[in-house]
Amino acid sequence: MTGSGDFGRRISYHRDRLGLTVEQVADRADMSSGYIQYLESHLDMPDMGTVTRLAAALETTIQDLLGGGRDRPPGPGPAAAHPVLEVLEPEECLRLVEPGGIGRVAFNGPDGPTVLPVNYKLHEGAVVFRTARGGPMDQDLRTGLQGVEIKIGFQVDRIDEAQRAGWSVLIQGPAHHVPEDEVEKVTHAGVTPWAGGERQLYIRIVPHKITGRRIHGL
């Protein structure tokens, strides 16, 4: 998307998030597919009427589509009129987190409870992420005792502000430092940390308990 601006990238992002084609977004927004393609690939900003229709078609908010509120936590708006909290089965939890992305690991560090974001993938039923060798997370997730592992939490959520809905999945289990003879196999998971750097230590969380909740309106 050479020359595209934030607005075009956000259209493309939300379209991919929903698994929609350009034609499907065009139908939803009552626009031509050529115009959607143009907006995704150019710097031009349309009028607010177009933005409003696109936000509805992409199931997001006008503010988010325009890039507003990037430095604020998600979900500041009011709850749905009649929110329903649904308990998710482990199979549904795994289906939701299967695409990979960004999650959070929680463990008891030397300075107390610690929660850190990580890029992750599911690989052979386990959560896999990368960190730096010798770094704080490498040290904090080692017990120093043979056969004794630290149990940690791994959480992923999705907030849909436009629909006043969302879900959250929590996976609990021991953290394994992937041994050298297994690293080549784990690299096929395709984990790429946003933070960059030499993050060549793979850590695998084997799920012992999987729970989740989904909130939505009636």
pLDDT digits (tens, 9 = 90+) for 191-209: 888 777 788 889 999 999 9
Q: Residue 136 has what pLDDT?
A: 79
Is residue 71 assigned to a domain? no
Q: Quick one: 119 and 52 in the same domain?
A: no
Contact call for residues 75 and 161 (beta carbons, < 8 A): yes
Q: Quick one: 49 and 114 in the same domain?
A: no
Q: Residue 17 has what pLDDT?
A: 85
Signed CA dihedral, 106, 112, 116, 121: sign only:
negative
Is residue 31 assigned to a domain? yes
Q: Residue 30 has what pLDDT?
A: 94
pLDDT score of 94 more than 90: yes
Cβ-count burial 10-33 (b if 16+ within 10 Å, e if not): bbbbbbeeeebebeebbebbebee
Average pLDDT value over all residues in the chain: 86
Q: Quick one: 92 and 167 in the same domain?
A: yes
Is residue 76 assigned to a domain? no
Best CA proximity match to 67, nearest among 83, 85, 79, 55: 55
pLDDT score of 1 more than 60: no
Q: Residue 42 has what pLDDT?
A: 87
Q: Quick one: 97 and 169 in the same domain?
A: yes
- 28-32, 57-61, 147-151: segment of lowest average pLDDT: 147-151
Report how many domains make up the chain.
Answer: 2
Q: Quick one: 51 and 138 in the same domain?
A: no
The residues that bridge with 59 in the sheet, in sequence order, are: none
Contact call for residues 64 and 6 (beta carbons, < 8 A): no
pLDDT > 90 in the chain, percent: 47
205 or 179: whose pLDDT is higher?
205
pLDDT > 70 in the chain, percent: 89
Is residue 78 assigned to a domain? no
Coil, helix or strand for 180? helix
Q: Residue 20 has what pLDDT?
A: 93
Signed CA dihedral, 55, 59, 7, 38: sign only:
negative
Q: In this structure, what CATH number is given to the domain that contains residue 43?
A: 1.10.260.40
Q: Quick one: 37 and 91 in the same domain?
A: no
Contact call for residues 57 and 35 (beta carbons, < 8 A): no
147 or 45: whose pLDDT is higher?
45
Q: Quick one: 94 and 163 in the same domain?
A: yes
Q: Quick one: 90 and 151 in the same domain?
A: yes
- Which domain covers residue 134, as residue numbers? 83-217
Q: Quick one: 37 and 132 in the same domain?
A: no
Is residue 138 assigned to a domain? yes
Q: Which two tokens stand for residue 154?
A: 């791994």
Is residue 151 assigned to a domain? yes
Q: In this structure, what CATH number is given to the domain that contains residue 128?
A: 2.30.110.10
